[in-house]
Amino acid sequence: MTRQIVLDTETTGLNAKLGDRVIEIGCLELLNRRPTGNHFHHYLNPGRASEEGAVKVHGISDEFLLDKPKFREIANGFIEYIRGAELIIHNAPFDVEFLEQELALAKLPPLAQHCAGVRDTLKLAKELHPGKKNSLDALCERYGVNNAHRTLHGALLDAELLAEVYLAMTRGQESLVMELEQAPAAAPADAGAAPERGTLVVLAASAEEVAAHLELLQAIQAESKGRCVWLAPEVRTGN
């Protein structure tokens, strides 16, 4: 059974190295490419203010986050949720860098020790649609995914949209091997004799048809100067 986790984060800014932190994690589970309804979603208190530009993108105020848990408080639940699964992330290096930082600050092992790998849907989209816009909104439009309710970025909403986009982008990969048709059951050993086959009727040529055929072959024999292979040897040699 293939287990995948579609994941998105929102952050206080764009640069983890400068101290920006995760403020929202949204995940949903796919089992054999089917959403299960098993979500993991938390808003987080980053312990610092969000940049003005970031707030314009996600709309999450600093005041709203004041009573939310710290990442370290939900870290074990997050690790258990993603354990052994492949992570599906759009522009994965961005989210992965922030998650690695949060795990390190919580004194926990890196992401690679908890999940089975990461698939970057932005990289996949660029391979499928080179030279085109491959933002999540652009992909929603391209694959007919309704994102009219996405006025602001939100981790869980974006994960839900990304799941639909990912399944649409990879629909041809669902199965590379066609299921074999079920073989018919063998007849029981005591089922009796094999069913009768139809009788083959052989119609013999008439004397006139034989004579006409021989005449044709002799004409070919004469035209080919004795090389008609359909005549019996004694007829070809005249013996």
Report, as an integer, the average pLDDT of 89-115. Answer: 98
Q: Which long-range contacts (CB under 8 A, 24 or more apart) does 169-176 make?
A: 169/121, 169/124, 169/125, 169/128, 169/139, 169/143, 170/124, 174/33
Q: Is the pLDDT of residue 97 over 50?
A: yes
Q: Is the pLDDT of residue 182 over 70?
A: no
Q: Is the pLDDT of residue 239 over 60?
A: no
Report the topology of domain 3-173: Nucleotidyltransferase; domain 5 (3.30.420)
Checking phi first, is residue 59 left (phi over 0); if not, alpha (psi -120 to 50) or beta?
A: left
Q: Quick one: which of 50, 75, 54 has its CA closest to 63?
A: 50
Q: Could you tell me the pLDDT band of residue 220, with boundaries at 50, 70 and 90?
A: confident
Q: Record the pTM.
A: 0.71
Which residues participate in catalysis according to the annotation?
153
- Which pLDDT tens digit goes with each residue over 184-197? 444 444 545 555 55
Q: How far apart are CA 42 and CA 74, in angstroms?
A: 8
For residue 60, give the amino acid letter: I
- Which pLDDT tens digit goes with each residue over 131-169? 999 999 999 999 999 998 887 899 999 999 999 999 999
